[in-house]
Amino acid sequence: MEFLVRKQLVLYSGSSHPSLAEEVAKHFGEPLGDIDIHRFANGEVYARLLDSVRGSDAFVVQTHAEPVNEHLVEMLVILDALKRASSARVTAVLPFFPYSRQDKKSLAREPISAKLMADLLHTAGADRVMSVDLHAGQIQGFFDFPFDHLTAQPLLVDHLRGELGPDIVIVSPDAGRVGVADKYANKLGAKLAILHKRRDARVHNQVEMLDVVGEIEGRRCVLVDDMIDTAGTITSGAEALMRHGASEVYAAAVHPVLSGPAVQRLKDSPIRQVVVTNTIPIPPEKSFDKLVVLSVGQIIADAIRAVFEDESVSGIFGGDNA
């Protein structure tokens, strides 16, 4: 006797960024799966799937915005529910990967928390993980199962090309981002410059800018990074560029974390425009005139479709998503 098995794709959203999950679902022409998520009186997370997912290929979209730990536990609970409900494969879609800056030990007796996140996701039931523009590519090596690394770089490149044209200088905020900045420069046919800075590993979110390496005088400069957290790096870098003769400064980053003083710093800075994506939701109080937000919904939808249909994810990006 021969049975024909039809694959079923189901897409669920956690509570951290439902609008992005809904946008992804629209690209498939299907609604999000029904799920009951709430908190018990003591703050514990409850999640129950309201439809059968037996034998399904399940995807859960949950980014890790504030409160990060709340959203992390919620994701783990949903993954566990899917696994116990007999999903054939469970993929955790994390537009912004939690604890990604803790990818190595800088001081003695520190944890490598990004590796812990990989272990937690696997233990909770994830068979595959998908994320956008990791802080460090080495995080992929923390997983002993498939990891799909997506990139929003094409979105940012297209916007910068349309907004500024080719006559610009791409600036790396530090030595660690030179590879990323070089990719932007190559795609835009632009010059490359580097900010040399010193950071004290014992003091978080504080940097000391030292010098600019490259020809920027009289040129429009674009600072590129993977995220903007407290905006200390981006704003001090912009000030350094202006001191060294840049005509204008723009900033482009994938993840708008925008913690603490970030919004005010960006408002007060010489940066003309801040271009980010919607991997993290931006509440109204963190929106400001200089901010331009591009959507990664299509990118995530294309990657989910490729995984579901057993096609190449790297082919979506021409191999530039390593």
Q: Which residues are catalytic?
A: 197
CA torsion 169→153→211→248, rounded to 10°?
40
Residues 208 and 181 sit within 8 Å (Cβ to Cβ): no
Residue 54 contacts residue 5 (beta carbons within 8 Å): no
**Residue 37 is inside which H or E element, if any?**
strand 35-39
Report the candidate in 240, 248, 246, 242 with the shortest Cα–Cα distance to residue 274. Answer: 248
Residues 6+ apart with CB under 8 A from 176: none
Single out the residue of 151, 165, 300 nearest to residue 226, CA to CA: 151
DSSP state string for 41-60: TTS-EEEEESS--TT-EEEE
The secondary element (H helix, E strand) that includes residue 251 is: strand 248-256
Compute φ and ψ for 153, nearest 5 degrees. Answer: -55, -40
Of 105, 10, 20, 110, the closest CA to residue 71 belongs to 20
